[in-house]
Chain A
Amino acid sequence: MSAAVLSTPTGSWDVERVRRDFPVLGQQVHGHPLAYLDNAATTQKPQTVVEALDHYYHHDNSNVHRGVHALAERATRDFEGARESVRRFINARSTREIVFLRGTTEAINLVASSFGQGLREGDEVILTAMEHHANIVPWQLLRERTGIVLRVVPITPSGELDLDALPGLFGPRTRLLALTHASNALGTINPVESIIKAAHEHEVPVLLDGAQAVPHLRVDVQALDCDFYAFSGHKLFGPTGIGVLYGRERLLEAMPPYQGGGEMIRTVSFEKTTFAGLPHRFEAGTPDIAGAIGLGRAIEYLESLDWEGAMAHEARLLDHATERLQAVPGLRIIGQAHEKVPLVSFVMDDVHPHDMGTILDHRGLAVRAGHHCAMPVMTFYRVPATSRASMAFYNTFDEIDRLAEALRYAREMLA
């Protein structure tokens, strides 16, 4: 069965060749070839990214923007070069709009605390019921500090935003709409273009949580016309510890600093400090220089791939996984939106996701079990947790078939 599927030509996409770029994928786990299906948690890194980190520490390690010596110049050039790679990748107008941070979480926290300083008691922020905790809790902290009101776009049973409810949520005091581009718990890709249009008609800026979208979609912040866009390097085949906030220059210019310290100042005296320009004003302290360079390399790697081929392969993987998993007795897929990134969340009668995770791990299948940092989604579906298989362009049909087979085995054993 799986051999037949494997021999089906998958467009021009040569998955075996791409897999060789990711040495970690070649290992055995518990005596089985690793099938890494936890890409929504973090992706694996291609060899070239590991080499970029290695090269930086072997040859160029230095602080940035501070020295005039050769190493400092090289480190600064490569760090700022990575910023330009990010700008190109998401088509921002200027590198002034690209802030390097620790990840999506820190990027959203920056907006909540800095943009949030302009909000007053009774001002409103709209979120959705499918947000990751990273796009809920910072706003709740802001609510505690200033008394803002949070409004929530509900979701439908298929796992899509209930957009009929959206117009009623805009009001004269709506200051921001913050929503996920793609859901990590359900896979849903939200129709953000039309949502942004609607928000802008109400003069409400929009923040997109792009953590799950950038690895799978072409993101063009100018075409989207979003105001903020947050994502993490480690979910984009880059290192952990580095992430990005894109912010529309006009908005960033008006925002107060997020943290204070070195790098973000122009002059300091005890009477008065003047701040650096964009984007450094939002980058206090020594940044993750190696991480940024690694992320830049990851982006260059992605640009060297046949992106259309990769996306088509992912779409076929998702179709295949949906079909195979749906056919497993007792299995229910959570999240059946029309447009999805390649992940499948599911529950199985009488088999707890944690038992499932252990049984699958034993067969070399790495999936995630838990609430996926989206407890409101779990509550909506009345499940304590789900299992989630999340794919990337280096996954194979054979891995999906192994998953389906292991799920049948788990059910036979435990139910």
Chain B
Amino acid sequence: MSEMSDLYQELILDHKRNPRNFRDMPDATRAVDGHNPLCGDQLRLFVKVADGRVEDVSFIGVGCAISVASASMLTEAVRGKTVEEAQRLFAEMHDLLTSDHPHTDPAELGSLGALAGVHEYPMRVKCATLSWHTLDTALTGDEESVTTE
């Protein structure tokens, strides 16, 4: 069994205590609700896309430390990226968090690599992937909401 501190790394706790880009976005081009019915986590992710680029991204909501930190780190990671780059990042995060033999090297993901420890906690993986699925829907889908069910 891994240590508690592998899951709750300082970086994750810092994002949980001071979530970045935690705000409403009235001029968003897309706003999507993400819901994890199992634990009641609920967030709303806003993106502003212009010329194929994510100009701004923010979120509001309530959730556990893992889901809030993951959403907060997501906003820092995808701001300024092209839609294609953001989608590639979603695919890499999904791989890192959910597959038993991820092809993605956490070291290459910068601070997002801190979330890799979640993989050891199967009951918590959905907490970390919620914001990423919400982002994917915001960028590529047309639904107004996603759930982890």
Binding site for B on A (CB under 8 A): 30-31, 352-355, 358-359, 362, 369-371, 378, 384-385, 413-414
Contacts and interface: CB of A to CB of B under 8 A. Distances in A.
Nearest to B62: A384
Contacts of B41: 354, 384
Interface stretch (B18-26, B52-60, B93-101, B121-129): B121-129
A353 B66 CA distance: 12
Contacts of B63: 352
28 contacts: A30-B1, A31-B1, A352-B39, A352-B63, A353-B64, A354-B39, A354-B66, A354-B124, A354-B127, A355-B64, A359-B4, A359-B8, A362-B1, A369-B39, A370-B38, A371-B40, A378-B40, A384-B39, A384-B40, A384-B41, A384-B62, A385-B39, A413-B4, A413-B8, A413-B13, A414-B8, A414-B13, A414-B65
B71 interface: no
A255 B13 CA distance: 58
A409 to B, nearest CB: 9
Given A354-B39, A384-B40, A414-B16, A362 B65 contact: no
Contacts of A31: 1
Interface residues of B, number: 20
Contact of B42 (A30, A354, A384): A384
B94 to A, nearest CB: 20
A384 B37 CA distance: 10
Nearest to B16: A414
B12 to A, nearest CB: 10
Interface string B13-48: 100100000000000000000000011111000000
A353 to B, nearest CB: 7
B7 interface: yes
A287 to B, nearest CB: 32
Contacts of B40: 370-371, 378, 384-385
A414 B7 CA distance: 12
A358 B121 contact: yes
Contacts of B1: 30-31, 362
Nearest to B36: A354
B9 to A, nearest CB: 11
Contacts of B4: 359, 362, 413
Contacts of A30: 1
Contacts of B66: 354-355
B74 to A, nearest CB: 18
Nearest to A414: B65
A114 B10 CA distance: 57
A362 B5 CA distance: 11
Contacts of A354: 39, 41, 64, 66, 124, 127
A359 B63 CA distance: 16
B27 to A, nearest CB: 29
Contacts of B127: 354
Contacts of B123: 358
A352 B8 contact: no
A299 to B, nearest CB: 34
Given A353-B64, A370-B38, 11 more contacts: A31-B1, A354-B124, A355-B64, A355-B65, A358-B121, A362-B1, A370-B40, A371-B40, A384-B62, A385-B39, A413-B4
Contacts of B42: 384
Interface in B61-111: 62-66
B119 to A, nearest CB: 13
A413 B62 CA distance: 19
A358 B124 contact: yes
A285 to B, nearest CB: 30
Contacts of A358: 7, 121, 123-124
Nearest to B40: A384
B124 to A, nearest CB: 6
A37 to B, nearest CB: 17
A369 B121 CA distance: 15
A104 to B, nearest CB: 22
A385 B64 CA distance: 11
Nearest to B13: A414
B47 to A, nearest CB: 25
A286 B123 CA distance: 35
Contacts of A370: 38-40
A369 B41 CA distance: 12
Interface string B113-149: 0000000010110010000000000000000000000
Task: Rank and list the top 5 A-B pairs by shortest CB-CB distance, nearest first.
Answer: A384-B40, A352-B64, A354-B64, A354-B39, A355-B65
A415 B34 CA distance: 24
A415 to B, nearest CB: 8
Contacts of B38: 370
Most buried by B among A31, A355, A413: A355
A359 B121 CA distance: 11
Contacts of A369: 39
Contacts of A371: 40
B17 to A, nearest CB: 8
A30 B8 CA distance: 17
